[in-house]
Amino acid sequence: MKSETFEALRQQLDRLGGISFYRQKLEKAGISAGDIQEPADFSRIPFTTSAEYFTELRKPPQECSLFSPQVTRINFSPSGKELYPVYQTANDLERMHRVSATSLKAAGVTPDDVCVITFGYHLFIAGLFYQGQLEYYGAKAIPLGPGDSETALKIINDYRSTVLISNPTFAMKLASGGIDSVRILFVGGEPFTSVEGYPERTKAAFGRDLTIIDSYSMAACMPIARSCRHENGLHLMDDFVHAEVIDPDTGENLPPGEKGELVLTHLHKEAAPLLRYRTGDLTVMEQRSCDCGRDLTLPQSIIGRTDEMLKIKGVKFWPSQIATILRSFPQFSGAYCLKLKQVKGVDHIELLVAGGAGAEDQAEALADKVKRDTLVKVNEIKVVEELEEGPLVQDEREGRSF
């Protein structure tokens, strides 16, 4: 941990003492901000779970300790069937835009660029998140919003837009209609870097090489990580948020390069700050020197969820990794079912996947990639035209499905 990061964390802990939600957590753990004297002490602070955070956040503002009278913007984000508020003070917004603007420069964006934003506006945060940082940076922003590809194509081509901000699926749809002015593509909203071959397929759709910038954020913490034009993975915004990777089972911090759950702490946020927040996202964090100036990196972004971890053949396995792996194979639809049982005392794995023409020919390559990415060997892969609705995992060993 950098000395400036630790100092920012100590100052943030002092501020969090004024928020009853966190003050009570620290008191219950028998810890005060003054007990955190060196970086190793930080791991003594209890984790914040999504359940307790959102329970507090959904209270009316006058009852929610995560709300601040200084709040100037309230967005919302879906969580299951409900919406939860995303609170920002003026200082929060300024810092968010300033940190993001640094990454715009690292991406190669200039104030002369005309940038089309196709993410949603109104209640949700993504569209305004990009518009605010672009305006702060001094670039030209067109708040197009989602959905209408015909209108988007006309505006992009009429105004010779050079930067497109979109989910990759919609970007490729637009590219099929003919775009020759875009030189930088910002993608989000879907797995991208973690999907082998996806960047190459996207560039092929545009018919040329272009800079593609992938981002990882969540509504409660924007930004978290973003790639740059040097294509060295997604760099953590470590002047905005402190990241840890922990063993989801034990809660212990893992060394760089090991797969685990991402835990986040805001360094400065005033409204609804996060403190050792367990994201449930599975990732690997590495130290990689980059010409853009940042070094903490998520090489594959997010590769799965930690919520439903299994032990298979003595190895920790997260079924959601299968969905990410399948995205690397266009022949498969993405639908799958994992069946686990024991045969003569040994774990046996059967993977059913839905696929069209050419899918059968890719079964062996799929098995190889599953083993390479998860360290677990699948005993049998069955390719079917369509999978019936049902649980993604059927674990006969423990008599459970989910």
Contact present, 170 and 190 (Cβ < 8 Å): no
Q: pTM to 2 decimals?
A: 0.88
Whether residues 180 and 329 fall in one domain = no
The enclosing domain of 368 has a CATH number of 3.30.300.30
- Is 49 a member of any domain? no
Question: Count of alpha carbons within 13 Å of 171, Cβ hemisphere only?
Answer: 33
Q: What is the pLDDT of residue 338?
A: 93
Q: What is the pLDDT of residue 394?
A: 92
Direct distance between the N- and C-terminal alpha carbons of the chain, in angstroms, rounded to an integer: 38
- Structure tokens, 255: 């060394």
Whether residues 287 and 315 fall in one domain = no
Biggest CA pair distance of the chain = 67
- Structure tokens, 217: 């954020």
What span, in angstroms and rounded, lies between the C-alpha atoms of 84 and 60? 11
Whether residues 241 and 353 fall in one domain = no
Number of structural domains, the chain? 2
Q: What is the pLDDT of residue 125?
A: 92
Whether residues 149 and 198 fall in one domain = yes
- Is 28 a member of any domain? no
Which residues contact residue 311 at a Cβ distance below 8 angstroms, ignoring those fewer than 6 apart?
317
* pLDDT tens for each residue of the chain, 402 residues long: 888 999 999 999 999 999 999 999 999 999 988 899 999 999 999 999 999 999 999 999 999 999 999 999 999 998 777 899 999 999 999 999 999 999 999 999 999 999 999 999 888 899 999 999 999 999 999 999 987 899 999 999 999 999 999 999 999 999 999 999 999 999 998 889 988 899 999 999 999 999 999 999 999 999 999 999 999 999 999 999 999 999 999 999 999 999 999 999 999 999 999 999 999 999 999 999 999 999 999 999 998 888 778 889 888 888 888 988 998 999 999 999 999 999 888 899 999 999 988 899 999 999 999 999 998 999 999 999 898 888 899 999 888 788
- Is 21 a member of any domain? no
Select from 268, 285, 305 the last residue of a domain.
305
- Is 7 a member of any domain? no
What span, in angstroms and rounded, lies between the C-alpha atoms of 401 and 392? 8
Q: Which helix (H) or strand (E) holds 365?
A: helix 363-374
The enclosing domain of 146 has a CATH number of 3.40.50.12780
- CA distances 366 to 304, 305, 322, 369, 375, Å, are 17, 20, 10, 5, 13
Residues forming beta bridges with residue 97, ordered by sequence position? none
Whether residues 286 and 320 fall in one domain = no
Whether residues 166 and 286 fall in one domain = yes
- Structure tokens, 261: 């759950």
Contact present, 218 and 241 (Cβ < 8 Å): no
Whether residues 101 and 227 fall in one domain = yes
Whether residues 142 and 284 fall in one domain = yes
- Is 72 a member of any domain? no
Whether residues 144 and 242 fall in one domain = yes
Q: What is the pLDDT of residue 356?
A: 87
- Is 230 a member of any domain? yes
Q: What is the pLDDT of residue 9?
A: 96
- Is 38 a member of any domain? no
Select from 254, 284, 305 the last residue of a domain.
305
Whether residues 322 and 366 fall in one domain = yes
What span, in angstroms and rounded, lies between the C-alpha atoms of 100 and 96? 6
Structural domain range at position 246? 87-305
Which residue from 171, 159, 160 is spatially nearest to 198, judged by alpha carbons? 171
Q: What is the pLDDT of residue 147?
A: 79
- Is 177 a member of any domain? yes
What span, in angstroms and rounded, lies between the C-alpha atoms of 296 and 263? 14
Whether residues 272 and 185 fall in one domain = yes
Whether residues 227 and 319 fall in one domain = no
Select from 290, 305, 320 the last residue of a domain.
305
